[in-house]
Structure formats: structure tokens, C-alpha cells
Amino acid sequence: MVEFHTSHLDAVFHALSDPTRRAILQRLTAGEHSVSDLATPFQMSLAGASKHIKVLESAGLVRRRIEGRTHICQLEAAKLAQAQQWLSTYEKFWTARLDDLEAILRQEDAAASKSATGKGGE
């Protein structure tokens, strides 16, 4: 069984809880961006963008490097994979439940169809 470190997962899910941070991560899937580039679509200050990026860095989702006065951010997807692995436990749970529900509904449909066919022939 996979062992999960709660503090790491807590940091990842906290970082993902904000729509701005999720959008920043989405933009980083296309490649590296400066903090200024990341701030532009949200019409936020560089300080505001930097605060979001610090949360993402703390969670291990983003790595930042400095080139002169420019801060360049890069996606670090390994922690997202850990979160996905944790979520997959619940995906298996719900898939099994939905499969059970589908079987029940098919049985009810078959019974209703058989019942309707039997009444129509009388």
C-alpha cells in the first residue's frame, strides 16, 4: 500500500484550493513563465502573484529561479502525482459503487420491460 505523508498532501490540497493558483499551474503546463507573465491575466500586483507562487512553492508544485531581476517559475508535477495517487483510492471506491448501481438499474429495467411485455399480451 502507498504511504502518504499528510503534511505534504495538506500543502498540495491547500495550494489547489484557490482558483488563481490552479490557473497559474495550468499556465505553467505550457512551459516556464515569469512572475510578471503569470500575474497579467489576473490583473494583480507582482506582490500578489508572488504570494500565490510562494504557496505553490511551499507545496512543491512550482520551482522558481532568478535570472537577473526576473523570477522564472516552472511546474513541478511530482507532488500532483502524489495527490492523484491519493485520490485514485476514492476513484476506485466510486467506480465500484457506480458499477453496482448500474447493475441494479439494468435489473430493474429488465424486470419492468418483462412486466410490460407480459401485460401487453393479455
- For residue 59, the domain's CATH number is 1.10.10.10
What is the full per-residue pLDDT of the chain (122 aa) written as tens digits?
A: 445 567 889 999 999 999 999 999 999 999 999 999 999 999 889 999 999 999 999 999 999 999 999 999 999 988 888 888 888 888 888 888 898 899 999 999 999 888 887 765 44
Give domain status of residue 122, yes or no.
Answer: no
Give domain status of residue 34, yes or no.
Answer: yes
pTM tops 0.85, yes or no: no
Give domain status of residue 58, yes or no.
Answer: yes
Quote the cell numbers at residue 104: 441494479
Instruction: Give the integer Cα–Cα distance in Å for 122 and 103.
Output: 29
Q: For residue 37, what are the domain limits? A: 1-117
Q: What is the CA radius of gyration of the chain?
A: 24
